[in-house]
Amino acid sequence: MTAPPPPGDLSNVRQGPAVCVRHPDRPTGLRCVRCDRPACPECLREASVGYQCVDCVNQGRATVRRGTTVAGATPGRALVVVPSLIVLNVAIFAFTAFQAQDIQYNERSELFQEWVLWPVFAIGLDQPWRLLTAGFLHYGPLHLALNMLALWILGREIEPLLGRARFAAVYLLALFGGSVAVFQFGAWDARTAGASGAVWGIMAALLVALVRLKLDLRPVLGVILINVFISFLPGVSLLGHLGGFVAGAAATAALVYAPRDRRTLVQVGALVTIGLVLLGITALRWAELTSRIG
């Protein structure tokens, strides 16, 4: 006769099936290969080896460090600055056309006359905003369409590489650089407007980035040559294009060649320095024009 098991011995007690740790009402024979906890098929995700539960997958994603571009931007982010700039330029054009009651000759609007780059404003020393606001004005719908198309084609390539804030900084410095070039070397009584200087700065940014990444330059060089030809057409500001190109190239070079360990410090310092240089050139020209005209 077999003796009964001693008190507390559960070796002969039949255990129930394991249940999912996230769904206690679901029996399962599956387990996570990472934490070995039971999990139902709904709570498992395919891994390189076996299946992991959703908790382990989420924990792994949180601990994995995402890579960055050569400028320090997080890749894969949606475009924000480029479409915002296009909407802003189109909205300003629509407002000037409404004011002028003429879509083709919108430069007759009051806002256009107050924002256009006109070196004569140096007489009063009270209208420095024209150096920036002129970059958001356009002479007619064709001028607007060409610049916005170029901004979209070039900007959607370079904004993800630089990141939103860095791209916006390059755009504004290029816009300012184009205006400063016109202000410094252009006719003192000529009126200039358009986003071309900023667009040329973005073109330069793409060129510098391709050089940094050691990629094929031929597609961009072809676009640049076409735009150089266009810049010599009547009514086109070659000075604005060149100024924007130089400022955009300098700003982008500072971003993509900054050392990784001191990237932010070098980038911010370089962009501020470029801005101060442009302000210094503007101040010298301002003093020259006021003394000549006054």
198-226 pLDDT tens trace: 999 999 999 999 999 998 888 778 777 87
User: DSSP H helical segments within the chain, as ranges?
Assistant: 54-63, 81-100, 110-115, 130-133, 140-162, 164-185, 196-213, 218-231, 238-256, 263-293
Q: Compute the Cα dihedral for 90, 91, 93, 98 and give only its sign.
A: positive
Taking 70 as the pLDDT cut, the residues of the chain under it are 1-16, 62-66, 121-126, 231, 233-235, 293-294
Phi, psi of 103 (to 5 degrees): -70, -30
pLDDT at 272: 98
Helix (H, G, I), strand (E, B) or coil at 135: helix
pLDDT at 203: 93
Q: Which H or E run includes 76?
A: none
pLDDT at 66: 60
pLDDT at 13: 40
CB 185 within 8 A of CB 191: no
pLDDT at 14: 44
Phi, psi of 31 (to 5 degrees): -140, 155
- At which residue do the structure tokens 């060149």 appear? 242
Rounded distance, CA 199 to CA 147, Å?
A: 7
Under 8 Å CB-to-CB from 49, ≥6 apart: which residues?
33
pLDDT at 12: 46
Angle at 291 between CA 286 and CA 294, to 5 degrees: 110
CB 4 within 8 A of CB 20: no
Q: In 3D, which of 219, 164, 217, 171 has the Cα closest to residue 197?
A: 171
Rounded distance, CA 42 to CA 76, Å?
A: 28
Rounded distance, CA 263 to CA 137, Å?
A: 34
pLDDT at 160: 94
Against a cut of 0.85, is the pTM above it?
A: no
